[in-house]
Amino acid sequence: MQTTGNTLLVTGGGSGIGRALAEAFLALGNQVIIAGRREALLQQVAQANPGLHYVVLDTSDAADSQRGVERLLADYPQLNAVIHCAGIMRGERLVDGPTELEATVATNLIGPIRLDGLLLPHFLKQPHAAIVTVSSGLAFVPLALTPSYCATKAAVHSYSQSLRYQLKDTAVKVHELAPPYVQTELMGQRQANDPHAMPLKAFIDEVMGIFKAQPDAEEILVERVKPLRFAEVNGGYAEFFRNFNDQMAAARAGE
């Protein structure tokens, strides 16, 4: 992905990784539009970042996605890139019966796939374009405390590979960003202040460095996520999975 000369849409751009990436790309001179469901929050972020644009968009809703893309393409005809940062992560106890997983699946998986389908006809007409999917280190080693989230991120990884292959002879590049555990409010204030999580600024700095140094990289992997990404390749996966989940469960139990 080129780090300059883009008109870039960032979903989930009102907070966390989405906001931080939007601000980083804006600082490089790109035209950036953040999207989300909470207009007051989007306005606040835009006011804090002169030149940043926003659009209210619920990517989990099919009709709103259709309306939103039509509005975006009318207002920003040079749109040529999207970063899918909208996401939901919830703890689930499967032994308690059915969980409220519909919102997680709709936001994390169906939303970005549908949005890509709406944007691709336009992207294919651009001189260069990029789709950045956002999976997770947990796509490769699931956290048993959040099974639906991990399942959607594993599916995003699979989808990214298929999308990349189908677009291999076009000017549309597909990059998969797989974050580690980062200090954001994805699961509330505890995560945002957890010293075991990677500081958000350090994560964004490393990600932007990868984009600049390796614009054709298929996977954007900071060093901290590599033990998860390559756990199966490196061998001893079953033990790694068990130890990882035992440690996380113990940390939660001690709260």
List active site positions: 149
Tokens of 22: 């939007």
CA 25 vs. chain centroid, Å, equals 15
How far, CA to CA in Å, does 87 sit from each of 29, 57, 97, 135, 253?
A: 26, 13, 23, 10, 25
Are the beta carbons of 82 and 68 closer than 8 angstroms? no
DSSP label at 5?
Answer: S
Report CA torsion sign: 58, 59, 64, 69: positive
Distance CA 180, CA 209 (A): 16
130: its two tokens: 């990029």
Identify residue 80 by its one-letter amino acid code: N
- Contact between residue 225 and residue 137 where contact means Cβ atoms under 8 Å apart: yes
Q: What's the length of the chain?
A: 255
Closest CA to 194 of 183, 202, 204, 180: 183
Kindly state the tokens that stand for 153.
Answer: 């991120």
Angle at which helices 147-166 and 111-123 cross, to 10°? 20
